Each structure stands twice: as structure tokens, then as C-alpha cells.
Chains A and B, each alone.
Chain A
Amino acid sequence: MTVSNDIGAADQQVAAEKPRTARGLPGGTMLWVLLVLVVLSALLTQGVFIRPSNLTTVLFQSSVIGVLAIAQAFAVIGRGLDLSVGATAIFAAMVVGGASSTADSFLPHLPLPVAVLAGLLLGLVIGLVNGTVAGRTRVPPFIITLSTYLMIVGVTFLATGASPVNSPHPVIREFGEARIWLVPAPVLLWLACIAAGYLLLRKTKYGAMLYAVGGNETTARLSGIRVSRVKLLSYVAAGVFAAVAGMLFLVRTGTVLPSDGSSFMLDSIAAVAVGGVSLAGGHGRIRDVVLGVLILAVVDNLMNLTGVSQYLQTAVQGAVVLIAVGVNLRLSHNGNE
């Protein structure tokens, strides 16, 4: 292991140097896009957008996708993809909600901490399955996680009998209503996930190895990195973060249906891509991921406030993804596709 320790340290240096922010605009293109959007939104809504109550709503609503996008980023940075994050989140939300519910549910009643642990464990197990197949075979991650996605959805419906989970534990409800200096507690949990993601990617040997594997798998393997294990860990991280996102969804809505979250999978990938994380792997910072989530959330909120029809919003979101990713690729002179 001493060999891989040295290499890990070297890669960590490379990874630390990677964010060449000066390539495009100072601070990165997407930060400026977000700022322009915020100013534009404030002007177009005559200030309604920047009222603290509206801003906290935007943050509150994007906390679920915010954490899901972190989950997705772990898979994407390692040149993978996780189509199962949304399904994992909903399954975890149903497990935590069901086990801690005050009403009858498909699970026996468990103390809240045990229920939360069960949810996290579920995410971990799904991540282990995805990661094992991704690490040990050359099956494309799209296919692996498409299959597990279908299976998780099926199992979720089977386990719950397609009925919703209601009236979660009172603590869960209180957590959703709690505010610390105006900031909703779920947003703080999102911030904690951002910090955890940052630390895992930037301050651990594992994070450095993940960038190396995503950048060039063959080089990483020849440098002594155990590629299959690094991939396994990246999908485990994705699974666990997805489970946390599911719990945030439970906190936000109080009721979870097995059919909820159908847009999570694609939204999480869109957010990651808009933030400027290359789907070709090896690049991308947690900061980019957060920016991607916020940009999409601001556009969404702006359209709601200005009364754009719900149906047209979907089309505009699609166009925003295209433009944002295209602009970012252009301005950052990022050669990879």
C-alpha cells in the first residue's frame, strides 16, 4: 500500500491544481451566469425574487436536487453515471418514512435513528451493487444503473403495495419547519452534504484517486490505483448521498408515493452538466455542482414568478441546459467532449 499512498499523494496535488479558474472568467463562467440570472430575476420581478422569503423558498426547494446532484457528481467524476439515484432516494424516503411513521405502514415501527440508519444502509447496499458491477465488468454504467433503476422502482412498488407513506415521525416534521436565522434546517443539511462532498473529493486520498480514474482509467491502473475499488466507493457514495436526498424529500413533503421523483434522475444529471462537470469524467468540483443546481432553480423560480405556463417551463428548462452547457464548454475551452 505504500506505493499507492505515494501515488495518491501525487494525484492529490494534481487534483488540487486542477481547478484552473482563470481559464474563462474569474471565478468560473457559471458563477457569472448565476449572478446575471439573479440580477435579471430581481429586475424582471420588481424585487420579489430577492425577498428573503422567496430566496429561502428557492433554497428549500432545491435542497433535494442539491444533494442528489452531489450523489450524481461522485459517479460522473469517476467517468460513470448513476441513473438509479432518484429511485434510490424515493425508496430510502419510503423506508425511513414508513419505519418511523405514526400511522400504519408497510414496515414495522422502528425508533427514528434506526429508521434513518436503515435508509442510509439501503443507499449503501444499492451503491455496492452498482459499484461492484461497474468495477468488475465493462458493462457501460448507463446500462448497469438503468437496470438497477428499473429493479429498484419495481421493488419499491412491490414492498409498499403502491400505497403512500404518510404522517412521518414528528421530529421529521419539526426538522422541516425549523429555521436557524431564517435558513431552513434542510438547507443546512444540504450545506453539510456540500461540505462532506468537498472534503471527500478534495481532502482524501480516495477523492484524488477518483479524479485519476475518471481522467484516465488505464493510467490510473498502471499507477497502482485499484480502479475497481475506487469505482465501487464512488457508487457507494452516490447511493448514500441519494438516500440522504430521499430523506430531505420526506422532510419537505411529509408524504411519499412510490411514483414520486420521476424527474430526479434526469434533473440530477442536468444540474451536474449545467454546473460544468464534464460527463467524460475526471473533472468537476462540488462548487460547480451547487452552481448548476442554483442556476436551474433560479430559472425555475423566475418562470413561476412571471407566470410562464407550466408546460412551456419544461421546454425552457431544456433550452437552458443546452445553452448553459454549450456556453460553458466554449468559454472554458474545455477540449473534452
Chain B
Amino acid sequence: MSGERVANPVTHLPGEQSALWARLTGGLSGRAVEGLFLLVVLIGFIASPKFLTTFNLDSLLHQAAILGVLAVGQYVVVVAGGFDLSVGAVVALTGMVTARTAGEIGLLSVPLAMVVGGVMGLLSGLAVTIGRIPPFVATLAVLGIARGLAFTVGNQGIVITEPAILDVNDAALGPIPAVALVWIVVAGLVYAFLHLTRSGTYVFAIGGNADSARLAGVPVARVKVGVYVLSGCLAGLAGTLFAARSGSGSPGIANGWELDSIAAVVIGGVSFFGGSGRLPRAMLGVLIYLMLTNIMNLVNVDAYVQNVLKGALILAAVTVPLLIRRRRPAVRSSL
């Protein structure tokens, strides 16, 4: 190890010590998510003949579309250095809004749900920026507000009879359900926004180091509010997709989905410290997470054992890459 590297630890990246080590770990950790995805598909193929049937894959895609749209929003917030605990409750609230209004305004209830979700996101964003409240507490409080409002809209489930909404779930383009296309389009648009626009670059900048970004002239507060609004809007969209799928709105649903979406994003290799992580991999994380649940259901793994295995998976997904990249210079840990 040369003295120069010690003097300038920022350039001391993992694997500089040996090209072979770099190729091994770089190659491994660089493709770990894709590898895990293929591994899970293989496990599913071996474990159950039902896994690769059209019926099962169709149902998987429907689930993935809803969690996927949610995870796109969560991904953007995590990249910006925060996280959004309110998304599950917002799904319940906007599902109720959809169910309540679908009869009168038909498909217009979808943008309405997105606006309601966006308002919830705006609340989180303002609390985080103007209120300077940590994202955890701010979005936790908004979780409570959204959940309470969902029950205020109606303390019981509302059945949707409007065919326009129900068709959203049933429509398909060839073998691909329309909701999956919605997910792909949403992910594509957000990906393009993040990588082709200046604001998108700002999201990565403030997640990497908010102070540096501020000094470089990035409007940190505005970008932060923006990512929470985006996450809220997408949670609203996911809420209508779920309402369409279940044919009803229900105020108590989607408990813990915020944790599912965070888990999916983290399994997809997105750094919880913010500033890095790729959207396509986060989407693979969604599929990995759902496929594992699906496989465990197919082979009749006890629901409680599933809980234990999920916990272990999340921990492993974060710990293993960190252990491989141990030589990276220390980053200040955050919540």
C-alpha cells in the first residue's frame, strides 16, 4: 500500500490492492442482484412445477406491479437520503378514495388518488425540509395521518362496481397484464427523469452529501419535497391498482407495505445511505422479494417461517455486499 493512498482515502477504492481481487469482488458485487434473481428463478423452477405456469406468473406480475410502483417511489426517496414509511397507509387511503369516487367519476378517480397521495407526500416533504424533522419521524407521523384519514373516509371496506376501474386489473396486452405495463412505464419515466434531467442528478447529489450539494447550489429543500411528493403520487397510483385488483377499498389494508417496499429496494442493492443504487436492480429486488414469498407459498412453507426467512434475507442482502466491500473508506452511518 503506498503512502499516497493513505493520504487521500477517497481514491482508495476496494480492489485497488489487486486487480484480481477487483475483478472477483467487483464482478460479484456488481452483478449480485442479477445473480440472485436468476438463482431464485432456478430455485422456483426446481421447487415447484407450478412456479413457471402462466397462471402463477400472471398473478406474480399483478403483485409485482403494485409493489413495484410503490418501490419506484421508495427508491427515489432512499437515493435522496431519506425513506418513506407512509406509503402503506397512503395505499389504504387512496384505495378508499378510489372506491368512494369510482362510481361517480370513473377513471378520473385514478388521478384523484394520485393527487391525494401527492398531498400526503407534500406533507412529509415539508415536515422534512421546513420542519427539519428526521424522515423517520416525519413519514411515521404522516403514516398515522393517512391511516386515520383512510378510516375517516369509511371505517369499512367499500366494494367497487365501476367496470372502468375493475378493467384496469383485468386488461392485458397479449400475455402481459396492463398493470405490469403501467409499472414498466412508471419505472421507465422515473429512470429517464433521474438520468436525463438536471433535477434527477440533484436527487443523487443530495443523497450523496446534502451539505456539499447545498454548497454547489443545488436547491436541496425543493428536491427533497419533490421526491416525497413523487413517492406519495406513486403510492396513490399503487393504491388504485390494488383497489382495482381486490375490487374494493379497505381502510386497514397494506399494513407493513412500507417495510416491504424498503426491503425490496434494499435487496435490489440500493444503498440505505443514499446517493447510489440503480433503479432496474431495485425493480429486480421487487421480483426477488415477491418470488421468494411465492415459492414459499407454493411449497407450503409455514407463514411464520416465511417471516423468519424474509428477515434473514433482508439482513443478508445488505450485509454480504458490505462485507465484500469492507475496504471502502468509512462513511458516516445514518439511520
Contact = CB atoms under 8 A, between A and B. Distances in A.
Contact of A279 (B134, B255, B312): B134
A293 interface: no
Interface string A137-151: 111111110111111
Contacts of B155: 311
B6 interface: no
A313 B331 contact: no
A329 B304 contact: no
A325 B127 CA distance: 10
**Could you say which of A139, A144, A148 has the most chain B C-beta atoms within 10 Å of its C-beta?**
A139
Given A322-B133, A325-B133, A329-B133, A139 B319 contact: yes
Nearest to B138: A322
A279 B133 CA distance: 9
Contact of A146 (B140, B251, B259, B306): B259
A212 B83 CA distance: 26
B4 interface: no
Interface in A283-327: 309-319, 321-322, 325-326
A218 B146 CA distance: 39
A270 interface: yes
B137 A321 contact: yes
Contacts of A142: 83, 136, 262, 272, 335
Interface string A258-297: 0000100010011001000011100000000000000000
Contact of A273 (B132, B137, B302, B318): B137
A331 to B, nearest CB: 12
- Interface SS of chain B: helix, strand, loop or mixed? helix
B141 A311 contact: no
Interface in B128-144: 131-134, 136-138, 140-144
Nearest to B140: A266
Contacts of B308: 150-151, 154-155, 158
Contacts of B142: 318, 322
A162 B303 CA distance: 11
A337 interface: yes
A33 interface: no
A288 to B, nearest CB: 14
**Could you say which of B142, B311, B318, B322 has the most chain A C-beta atoms within 10 Å of its C-beta?**
B311
Given A316-B148, A325-B137, A140 B333 contact: yes
A326 B273 CA distance: 24
Given A143-B266, A273-B134, A322-B138, A311 B152 contact: yes
Contacts of B263: 146
Interface in A92-139: 133, 137-139
A81 interface: yes
Given A158-B305, A217-B332, A279-B136, A318 B145 contact: yes
A315 B145 CA distance: 4
B20 interface: no
A230 to B, nearest CB: 14
Contact of B311 (A138, A150, A313, A337): A150
A138 B305 CA distance: 27
Given A140-B333, A322-B138, A154 B304 contact: yes
Nearest to B149: A315
Given A154-B306, A154-B308, A337-B132, A318 B314 contact: no
Interface residues of B, number: 54
B70 to A, nearest CB: 16
A148 B314 CA distance: 10
Given A150-B307, A312-B148, A313-B148, A138 B322 contact: yes
B19 interface: no
Nearest to B321: A139
A309 B148 CA distance: 10
Contacts of A233: none
Interface string A165-200: 000000000000000000000000000000000000
B191 interface: no
B330 interface: yes
Contacts of B259: 146
Contacts of A312: 148, 151-152
A318 B273 contact: no
B152 A325 contact: no
Contact of A321 (B141, B146, B310): B141
B334 interface: yes
B314 A146 contact: yes
A153 interface: yes
A278 to B, nearest CB: 8
A252 interface: no
Given A147-B312, A218-B330, A318 B335 contact: no
A337 B134 contact: yes
Nearest to A76: B335
Contacts of B307: 150-151, 153-154, 157
The 5 closest A-B pairs by CB, nearest first: A315-B148, A318-B144, A154-B307, A311-B151, A150-B311
Interface of B: 83, 123, 127, 131-134, 136-138, 140-149, 151-152, 155, 251, 255, 259, 262-263, 266, 272-273, 302-312, 314-315, 318-319, 322-323, 330-335
Given A139-B318, A142-B136, A154-B304, 11 more contacts: A79-B335, A137-B322, A139-B319, A140-B272, A142-B83, A147-B315, A151-B307, A151-B312, A154-B306, A158-B302, A269-B140
